[in-house]
Amino acid sequence: MTKFPNPPRLGGALKLALLTTCLAMPFSITAGEAMAESKPLVIARNLAINSLDPSRAACDTCLIYLSAVYETLVRLGEDGRSVLPGLAESWEANGDNTAFTFKLNPKAVFADGSPVEAKDVVWSWDRLANAQGGMSWLLDTIKTVETPDAHTLSIQLTQPDAEFLGKVMGPNAAIINSDVAEANGARSTKDAANTDTAEPWFLENSAGSGPFVLQSYSPNDELRFKRNEKYWGEPALVDEIWMKNTKDSIAQAQMIQNGDTDIAMQIAPDTAKTMETPEIVVEKAPSYNYIYMALSPGAKGNTVPLTKPVRQAIALAVDYKGVIDFTVAGAGRLQASPIPNGFPGADGLPEPTQDLEKAKALLAEAGLKDGIDLKVKFPNQNYYGVDMSMLMQKLQQDMAKANIRLTLEPMTFEVWLDVVKGDGTPLTASYYAPDYYGSGQFVKTFGMIPGTRWAKRSGAERVEGEMNPKEEQLLNQALAAPEAGRDALYKDVAMEMINDRIIVPLVNPDNVLVFSSAVQGVRYSINEFLPLRELSFKK
Amino acid sequence: MTAMGTPQNNNWAKALMSHLRRDFWSALPAYIGGLVVLFWIVVALTAPLWAPYSPLDMVGARLQPPSADHYFGTDGLGRDVLSRTLYGAAQSLPIAVVVVVVGATVGAVLGAAAGFLGGWTNTIVMRLVDVTLSFPPMLLAMAVAVALGPGLKTAAVAMIIVWWPLYARLMQSQVISVKQMDHVEAAVSSGVRRFRILWRYILPLSWTPILINATMDFGQVVLLAAALSFIGLGAAPPTPEWGQMISEGAVNFYTWWIAAAPGLAILSVVLALNFIGDRVRDVLDPRSTT
C-alpha cells in the first residue's frame, strides 16, 4: 500500500485566518458591488472658476455648478426654447412685457429643509445687482418687486422686456437661502459690493435648493458635488459627481481612455475623431458660442480708411467653410450674424460666402487696387476648441488671395483687452458665449448703438456715419413685441448687423462631448451647459 | 583659477588643435557634434534649395501623416512639416548666436569693469547681477517678453537680459583672481597704465571660462527660445520656428509628426552643441579633466 506523506500541519492562527477569509468572501463581494453602485461620476474639464458665489460667478464651469446646486424660478426646456417650471409653479406676463407675476411652488425647500419663499427671491436678485459682479446687469430692467404673500412675486419693469423670462432662467439669477447666506456675511443692500464678505464662504458651502450640494472645492484641482438628500423634486441619479481640473485636450483624452474619467468636455475635434470605440462615445452637439472677426473703422492703427466697402471686401475674402474645416475639423456651423444659430431672429439669414473677385473689385473701387496691409492683434488663446493662432493664420492665407495682407501679432488676453479698449486694432478676433436665452444681448453687445461694447471698441462712435440708429429702434420694438412677431424683428436687426460689417462671425463650433458608454443623460444646454441632474450610470 | 596662467591656456587655439589631433576617439562626439551643427548652419543658409515646398503655403490636405509627397507629413493648415523645419533653422540658430554673443560680451565687459575697478562700480554691477539672478530664468524671460510684446526680437532681448549676469559674475571673479597674481602686481609697480594692465596682463588669462560657458550655453539658448515660442512669446505666426511648431503639434497630440521633425531638430542641435561644449571645456579647463 502506497503511503502518502502527511499534509503539512497548519498553525492554529493560520487556520483561523483562512476560515475567516472564506466566510467573509460572500460579504466582501456584496460590499464591492455596493461600492460600484455608489462610485462617483467623474468629469474632466478645465475648471477656470472665478467664483462659486451666485452673485459673482461668471464662467462656463460656474454655469454647470450654479444649475446643479441652485435653482431659478423657471427653466429652459430641452428644446432650447420652451419655458418649464422651476421654483415657480406658474407665471404670467402683461401685454407689453412690463409686469410679471410668479407663484412659487410651496413644496420647494432649500438643502437645509427650510422653505423657498418670496423674500429669498427678492434678497437674491437685490444681491445680484448690488454685489456688482460680472453679471449684475442681468436683471437691470426690474423697477419694483412686491411680495403680497410668501409665495407670490409681482414684478414691474422699467421698460418692456420680452426677454425677462430668459434672464430669470440665467444661472446667476438663482435663488439663495437668504437666512443662511446672511448669517455668513452675505448682504443684499446697496452697499453690498463693499459690505458683503461671503464670497470665501461660498467657496466651501452652498445655500441652494438644487438636486446637488457643494461637497468640496479645491481651486485648480477638484470640484465635488453630492446629492441633496432633501431635494424637493426628482432626486439626482448619482450620489456624487467629481469634476477634476484637467486643462488640456490631450490630458482629458488620456484620462477617458485610461478609464480615469467618465466624461471629458473639452477634447479637440481632431483628437475626438480618433477616439470612438465601443467603450467611448463621441457626440457633437450644436452650441451657441461663436468666434468672430471684428473690423474697427476707428482704430488708430488704420493705414487706410476701413469704410463699409473695404470691410465688405475683407469679409468676402474669408473662406468660411475652410475656417470650420481647419479650426474644428468640420465640427461647427456657419453663422450669418452676431445672433447665433438657434436664437430668435437667426433662422433664414443668408449664409456667409467667399467671393475673391468681388472682394478685389470692391477694393479697386475704393482706390486700393494694390490691396491693403493690416496689423492684426489677437488673443493667443483657445476658445471652445478653436486655436486663435491657427484661425488667424488661416485668415492670413485666405485674405492674401484678395491682396489683403495681414501681419499677425498674438498677445495675451489681458494685453489684447487693453489694446481693444484703448487704441483698437484694425482687425481682430474674439469669442462670445450667450449669458441667457434671448437675442437682445447680441444687439446690446455688437450693434452700432451708442454705448455698446463694439461700438466703443471698433471706434465706430468716432467715425461719422458708422452708427446705426435703426438697430436700437428695432431692438426696442422686439423687446415690447408679443412672441409671435419677435423673431421677425430680430431678423431685421440681424440683417442690419450683417450690413454693418463690424462683426463678422467666423465659426460656430460644436460642443464635443466624449464620454464612457456606461454613462447616460449627457447633453448640452444653453443655460446649464451640462445638466448634472440628468447624468447617471447605465444599470 | 590657478590653471589660468599655464602655457596651455595662453595658446588655447594651438592647444585645442593639438589636443583634438592627439585624442581623436575621445573627441569623436565633438566631431560628430561639429558635423551636425555644420549641417544645420548649411541648412539655415540654404533652406530654399533643400525645402520641397514653401514653409508658409498650404500645399496639401491638413494633418496628413508622413508620405512620399510629404516626408514629415503636413500640419493643421496643410503646410509641409519638413519644409517648415528646414526653414526653422534660419530662425532658431541665429537667435542662439545673437543671445550668446551679446550676452557674453555685455556680461564680460561689465564683469571685467566690476572686477578691475572695484568700489562702487563693482557694487552696482554685482548687485544688478544678484537681482537679475534672483529670478528664475524662465520666469524672468517670460516677464520681459510679455512686457515687450511677443516676437523673436523681443524674445532675444529677454534672453540676453537673463543671460548676461552669468557671464558678468564669472568674469568678475576671474579678473579679481588674476589681478592678485605676481605678474600683474609687477606691472602695477612698474607704472604700466591701468587700461594696458587690464588688456595685456589680466584679460588674456580671464576669458577662457567665458568661452567654455558660452559654448555650453548655445544649446540652452536654443531650448529657451523654443520654450518661449512654445508658450506664444517667441516667433509670431506663421514664422516657421521650431518651438512654435512643437506648440502647434501639441494641440494635435495624436498627429505626432507635426512635433516630431522640429523636436528632432532641437534634440540634434542641443545634443551636438553640448558635445562640442564638453570637449571645449575638457581642453581649456584642465580642472575638469579626469
Homologous superfamily (CATH) of A39-48+211-286+511-539 is: Periplasmic binding protein-like II (3.40.190.10)
B146 vs A390: CB contact, 8 Å cut-off? no
B149 vs A412: CB contact, 8 Å cut-off? no
B254 vs A274: CB contact, 8 Å cut-off? yes
Cβ atoms of B129 and B165 within 8 Å: the answer is: yes
Q: Does residue B7 lie in a domain region? A: no
Which residues does chain B have within 8 Å of residue A387's beta carbon, measured at their own beta carbons?
Answer: 76, 248, 251
Domain span at B141: 26-56+72-288
Q: Chain A contact for B60, CB < 8 A? A: no
Which residues does chain B have within 8 Å of residue A409's beta carbon, measured at their own beta carbons?
Answer: 149-151, 236
Q: Does residue B4 lie in a domain region? A: no
CATH code of residue B31: 1.10.3720.10
B250 vs A250: CB contact, 8 Å cut-off? yes
Per-domain boundaries in chain A: 39-48+211-286+511-539, 70-199, 290-509
Which residues does chain B have within 8 Å of residue A408's beta carbon, measured at their own beta carbons?
Answer: 236-238
CB within 8 Å of chain A, chain B residues 207-246: 232, 236-238
Of A382, A408, A412, the CB nearest to B237: A408
Over chain B (290 residues), what is each successive 10-residue block's mean pLDDT?
46 71 78 94 93 92 93 94 95 90 95 93 94 89 82 88 93 92 88 87 87 84 84 84 86 84 93 88 64
Q: Does residue B19 lie in a domain region? A: no
A408 vs B236: CB contact, 8 Å cut-off? yes
CB within 8 Å of chain B, chain A residues 269-288: 270-271, 274
Which residues does chain A have within 8 Å of residue B238's beta carbon, measured at their own beta carbons?
Answer: 393, 396, 408
**Among A388, A389, A411, which would you mutate to test the B interface (most chain B Cβ atoms within 10 Å of its Cβ)?**
A389
Which residues does chain B have within 8 Å of residue A389's beta carbon, measured at their own beta carbons?
Answer: 232, 237, 248
CA atoms within 13 A on the CB side of A227: 19
Q: Chain B contact for A356, CB < 8 A? A: no
Q: Does residue B3 lie in a domain region? A: no
pLDDT one digit per residue (tens) for chain A, 539 residues: 334 444 444 444 444 444 444 444 444 444 434 444 478 999 999 999 999 999 999 999 999 999 999 999 999 998 888 899 999 999 999 988 999 999 999 999 999 999 999 999 999 999 999 998 888 889 999 999 999 999 999 999 999 999 999 999 999 999 999 999 999 999 999 999 999 999 999 999 999 999 999 999 999 999 999 999 999 999 999 999 999 999 888 899 999 999 999 999 999 888 898 899 999 999 998 999 999 999 999 999 899 999 999 999 999 999 999 999 999 989 999 999 999 999 999 999 999 999 999 999 999 999 999 999 999 999 988 899 899 999 999 999 999 999 999 999 888 888 899 999 999 999 999 999 998 899 999 999 999 999 999 999 999 999 999 999 999 999 999 999 888 889 999 999 999 999 999 999 999 999 999 999 999 999 988 888 899 999 999 98
Q: Does residue B251 lie in a domain region? A: yes
Whole-complex ipTM: 0.74
The CA distance from B27 to B12, in Å, is 16
Count of the separate structural domains present in chain B: 1
Q: What is the CATH number of domain A290-509?
A: 3.10.105.10
Strand A83-85 and strand A519-520: pairing? unpaired
Give me the phi and psi of B34, to 5 degrees please: -60, -40
For A461-513, give the DSSP string: GGSTT---HHHHHHHHHHHHS-HHHHHHHHHHHHHHHHHHTSEEEEEEEPEEE
B255 vs A270: CB contact, 8 Å cut-off? yes
Which residues does chain A have within 8 Å of residue B62's beta carbon, measured at their own beta carbons?
Answer: 325-326
Of B78, B238, B248, the CB nearest to A396: B238
Q: Chain A contact for B62, CB < 8 A? A: yes
Q: Does residue B18 lie in a domain region? A: no
Angle ∠(A72,A74,A76) on CA atoms, nearest 5: 105
B246, B247, B249, B254: CA torsion to nearest 10: 120
Which residues does chain A have within 8 Å of residue B146's beta carbon, measured at their own beta carbons?
Answer: 412, 415
What is the least distance, in Å, from the CA of B263 to any CA of chain A?
18
Cβ atoms of B156 and B101 within 8 Å: the answer is: no
What is the least distance, in Å, from the CA of B230 to any CA of chain A?
12
Q: Copy the grid coordinates of residue A24.
A: 467573509
Which residues does chain A have within 8 Å of residue B250's beta carbon, measured at their own beta carbons?
Answer: 250
Of B77, B237, B251, the CB nearest to A268: B251
Give me the phi and psi of A84, to 5 degrees please: -110, 155
Q: Which chain A residue shows the shortest CA-CA distance from B142?
A: A412
Q: Chain A contact for B63, CB < 8 A? A: yes
Q: Which of A506, A504, A493 is nearest to A449 (CA)?
A: A493
Q: Does residue B270 lie in a domain region? A: yes
- What residues does A294 pair with on adjacent strands? A428, A503
Question: Looking at domain A70-199, does it have CATH number 3.90.76.10?
Answer: yes
The CA distance from A88 to A438, in Å, is 20
Q: Chain B contact for A387, CB < 8 A? A: yes
Q: Does residue B230 lie in a domain region? A: yes
